[in-house]
Structure 1
Amino acid sequence: MKKGKVIQTLLLSLIIMLIVSACGNAGNKEAAKDKGANSGTEAAGNAGDKAAADAPVEITLLNSKGEIQAQLEEAAKSFKEDNPNITLEIIPVPAGQSPFEKASALYASGNPSTITMLDTGDVEKFKDRVLDLTNEKWMADRVDRSTDLTTFDGVNYAFPLAIEGYGFIYNKQVVDAAVGGSFDPSTINTTKALEELFAKIESSGKKALVIGPMDWSLGAHYLPLAYASQSTDPQAVTQFIEDLKAGKVDLAGNAVFNGLLDTFDVMKKYNMDKASPLAGTYERTGELIGKGEVGILFQGNWVWPQIKGFDTANGAYGFLPVPHSNNPDDFGNTQVSTAVSKRLVLDKEVATPEQQAAAKKFLEWMVYSEKGQDFLVNKANIITAFKNITLEPADPLSKSLAQYIADGKTQDSMSALPADHWAKVGASMQKYLADAGDRATVFKEIQEYWKAVK
């Protein structure tokens, strides 16, 4: 009896094992089936990600540096060669319109550019509409202080595109002939020495100077020298601006402002266009100095493409500071003005994640690729703000600026002025240039402008 029960128990166990085994095999087959399905889904997902990465992306760049429009368009083509799925269109800011005005209009229309080139002072106004770039790769390679003015509450919002500088540009061939030997730029360190040089150039049969009457040149570059030269301490300069806003400054009694207009009076006296002082154009001033018809031009290194186009003699050029007194030791008399002048910001309101990624790729391409570096330094004649770029500027104006920087003979440009400063204050300087307003009028209008700034 016990033996039979044992046999029955063994048979029952065997049946159960067979059933469990069958169920297990079925489960394994189902699991295998599910795994295959999941693998297919994962593969499809990976393929989708790759397809998304390779999908065509169109981005735009609003260019406010008109002299490199053609170079930027070539850079866009070169960038596309390296990134076939990305098309970059370069949109120029219309002549006479500020980048702030154009960018504001594009945002108002709901169609901002993916990348916008702004002046330094404009970045803060757009910081709520553009991407945080604090953790981008190129931040580790930027030069010191290059993003200080675009960092707010610890967040950097802009890519430092170009270090630029300005002052008196001289055609060495013309001034060498005027002084009867090799011209030494260090001898021009007072207003008196500048006027003597102008007189020598005139005596040699050439015109001494041409003044570009553009409001941006007079309002964003020339007059701001009077702010920057107030002190060697940047904080003191900032306080001077705050005092202007508060109505605490009487410019009629300010030595630097009066001295800079004294220099401007000398410039007006020797201006080639003094019969029609507002008739000149930016392009024409570059042509005149490039052809050697004038010896001196107040402008920045960005004018080199225009000069080069007319320089058939392959001449030498350099910068002179703009003196504002007859004391060589006064700050500003031996320094040229330099700063990171142009910044790139990336839209976050309308641009898609794919467009934002493409725009970031373009920034990295400029800093780290051979083609990008070639565009910045050799094609666009830009002094870059990145330590890893070892290419040296080839054009004489950038070389001259680089030497002033190396010698510590620079002052900070007033690159964070309000967006409308160059238009409004530039208009006051235009009136002074054309003798349509006296010095008291200029000072009064400048003071009224600053008191209205919020």
Structure 2
Amino acid sequence: MKSKKVLSLVATVVLISGVLAGCSSKSGGSSSGTKSKEVKITMLNSKGEIQSQLEDAAKEFKKTNPNIKLDVVVTGNGQSPFEKISAMYASGNAPTLAMLDPTDIIKLNDKFEDLSKQKWIADTVDNSLDTIKTSDGKVPAFPFTIEGAGFIYNKTILDKAGVDPASIKTLNDLKSAFDKIKAKGSEALAICSADWSLAGHFLSIAYADQSNDPAKVNEFFDQLKAGKVDLTKNKPFNGLIDTFDVMKKYNIDKKDPLSATYENNQQQVGTGKVAFWFNGNWAWPQIKQFAGDNDNFGFIPVPVSNNASDYGNSGIPAGVTKYIGVDNTTSTKAQKAAAEKFLNWIVYDKNGQDFLVNKSNIIPAFKNITLEPSSALAKSIKQYIKDGKTIQFITTTPSDHWSKVGVSMQKYLASKIDRAELAKEIQNYWKNVGK
């Protein structure tokens, strides 16, 4: 009897151990023989202003995906995303996920997975994939954010000066507003001297204002490349530079305009030291640090003539400005699956949506996300989109456009060259693209 009891007890222990091992295996327990191997993926982030938010998102994602570790690498200050990604590929250290500008996605589309079969494709906002979609239907990237740009205003300063932002419809209206603000003892404007802002965003308005038809804008680029455009005789270009000349006159840093920094400008508009600043809704997280979370900020378009009905005077540049590609060159099948899981987490998980909209103040490119951005700037952009008062956000200029043409814009800002010389330098850039 005794031996039978011992054998029975041993059998019971073995049976229970087997059951527990099975349960451990199914639940991802810590047994060395059953634990799934951790998949490590990396992401290149070209929106430095949300680096901490992305790092927090990676931690939140890991809570429900414990076998996936996501590390976020930020593009260096002053380095273009294309330079960074090119260096990473050249060193054999390509990121699993790469957040890039549309033009970079187009240029590198053969390095990215085709995401056209992903669930989120059906939930994208209309036309949000048009820019990057290939002729054979490949979707090489995920639309990360819709953004817009224009004159950011601090309503507290405008109210003090008796300026209604909605009344600014022409260049003369803008100048009048600047004068009223100065008369009340405040500074009217700050100009960001960064090359990406001057060439990538501000000058691009002249391109977008060529036509409300994107095909005709593309024709204009073709004419520029062929050397058949004289910008000194181009109405949208001259109109925008007329506005820039007024901006230079009222610039808080006009004595040393190239000393202005993006960080100082955020503080100036956030604290009410200046009333206007040309930039985009991506600047809100930093402005908020100085202004607090309130609705005293918004956008007005950049007027380029004294005829309010001229195309562009009532429109804000808006569109998808960042896409995320999934590497298909060195990433393993497991890494690609993990990367795709993270993208789906952003779109369909409540914590992913919270990261995108509430934490990062991003306007999502997905119709299923019903969260409304809380930031005043995102709300303003969304209203322009809703009202149909937008112009094309030019996102497909060559990767070196803002760095090379930005230098020309900086020279003009500092009055080192005149308008004719600026036009010539821009034209020469386009004539030599790809050569």
Q: How high is the TM-score relative to the length of structure 1?
A: 0.87
Correspondence 1:432 to 2:415: no
% same residue: 55
Contact 1:230 1:237 in 2 (8 A): yes
TM-superposition CA deviations, 1:224-275 (whole Å, max 9, x none): 0000001111111110011000111110100110110000000000000001
Question: Where does residue 94 of structure 1 map in the other structure?
Answer: 76
Partner of 1:222: 202
3-state SS, counterpart of residue 189 of structure 2: strand
Structure 1 portions without partners, runs of 5+: 1-43
The answer (yes or no) to whether the contact 1:173–1:315 under 8 Å persists in 2 is no
- The residue type equivalent to 1:397 in the other structure is L
The 1-side partners of 2:286 and 2:268 are apart by 10
User: CA–CA distance in 2 between the matches of 1:362 and 1:274?
Assistant: 45
Partner residue of 2:372? 392
Q: How far has the Cα of 1:184 moved from its partner?
A: 3.1
Matched position secondary structure for 2:143:
strand
Q: Which of 136, 148, 153 is equivalent to 1:170?
A: 153
Q: CA deviation at 1:386?
A: 0.2
Q: 1:397-453 deviations in whole A, cap 9, x for unaligned?
A: 000000000000001100111100000111100000000111111100110111111
Cα 1:313/1:138, change in 2 over 3 Å: closer
Secondary structure of the corresponding residue to residue 63 of structure 2 = helix
1: distance between equivalents of 2:84 and 2:174?
Answer: 38
How far residue 185 of structure 1 moved from its aligned partner, in angstroms, is 2.4
Q: Aligned in 2, Cα 1:405/1:73: closer, same or farther, shift over 3 Å?
A: same
Report deviation, 1:55: 1.7
Residues 408 and 315 of structure 1: CA distance in aligned 2, closer, same or farther (over 3 Å): closer
- Consecutive unaligned residues of structure 2, counting only runs of 5 or more, are 1-21
In the comparison of the two structures, how many residue pairs are matched? Answer: 408
Letter in 1 for 2:250: Y
CA contact (8 A) 2:293 2:375 kept: no
Runs of 4+ in 1 over 6 A off after TM superposition: 50-53
Secondary structure at the aligned position of 1:340 is classed as strand
Amino acid aligned to 1:128: D
Query: For 2:248, which of 243, 268, 293 is the aligned residue?
Result: 268
What is the aligned counterpart of 2:324 among 344, 361, 366?
344
Q: Residues 52 and 155 of structure 1: is their aligned pair in 2 closer, same or farther, counting only changes over 3 Å?
A: farther
Match of 1:73 in 2: 55
In structure 1, what is the Cα distance between the partners aligned to 2:296 and 2:129? 33
CA apart distance, 1:129: 1.1
Report if the CA contact (8 A) 1:216-1:426 is conserved.
yes
Distance 1:85 1:334, change over 3 A: same
2:346 matches 1:363: no
Larger radius of gyration: 1
Local SS of the residue matching 1:61: strand
Report whether the alignment pairs 1:301 with 2:281. Answer: yes
**Superposed, which structure 2 residues align to 1:100-249 within 5 Å?**
100-152=82-134, 153-179=136-162, 183-249=163-229
Give 3-state SS (helix, strand or coil) of 1:106's partner: helix
Partners in 2 of 1:209 and 1:433 — Cα distance?
A: 14
Contact (CA 8 Å) 1:171, 1:315: kept in 2 or not?
Answer: no
Q: Is the 8 A contact 2:231 2:423 kept in 1?
A: yes
Greater alpha carbon shift after TM alignment, 227-236 vs 50-59: 50-59
Contact 1:66 1:93 in 2 (8 A): yes
Cα-to-partner distance string for 1:172-227 (whole Å, 9 max, x where unaligned): 00001111xxx432211111100100111111110000101000000100000000
Q: What does the per-residue CA deviation read over 1:324-346, in whole Å, with 9 as the maximum and x for residues that have no partner?
A: 11010011100000010000001
Distance 1:443 1:432 in 2: 10
Query: What SS is found at the alignment partner of 2:278?
Result: strand
Q: Does 1:320 align with 2:303?
A: no
CA drift of 1:283 comes to 1.1
Matched residues in 2 for 1:415 and 1:275: separation?
Answer: 32
Task: Give the Cα–Cα distance (whole angstroms) in 1 for the partners of residues 148 and 377 of structure 2.
Answer: 9
Is 1:59 the equivalent of 2:41? yes
Cα distance change, pair 420–52 in 1 and its aligned pair in 2 (3 A): farther
Q: Residues 253 and 53 (structure 1 numbering): CA distance in 2 closer, same or farther, change over 3 Å?
A: farther
Secondary structure of the residue that 2:211 maps to in structure 1? coil
Contact 2:269–2:276 (8 Å) recurs in 1: yes
Deviations 1:364-384 (A, max 9, x none): 000000000000000000000
Q: How many angstroms apart in 1 are the aligned matches of 2:310 and 2:189?
A: 24
Alpha-carbon offset, residue 149 of structure 1? 1.1
Equivalent in the alignment of 2:363:
383
3-state SS in 2 of match to 1:58: strand
Q: Secondary structure at the match of 2:58?
A: helix
SS at match of 1:84: coil
Root mean square deviation of aligned Cα:
1.8
Asked whether the 8 Å contact 1:143–1:387 carries over to 2, the reply is yes
CA distance, structure 2, for counterparts of residue 320 and residue 200 of structure 1:
17
Whole-angstrom distance in 2 between the partners of 1:184 and 1:210: 19
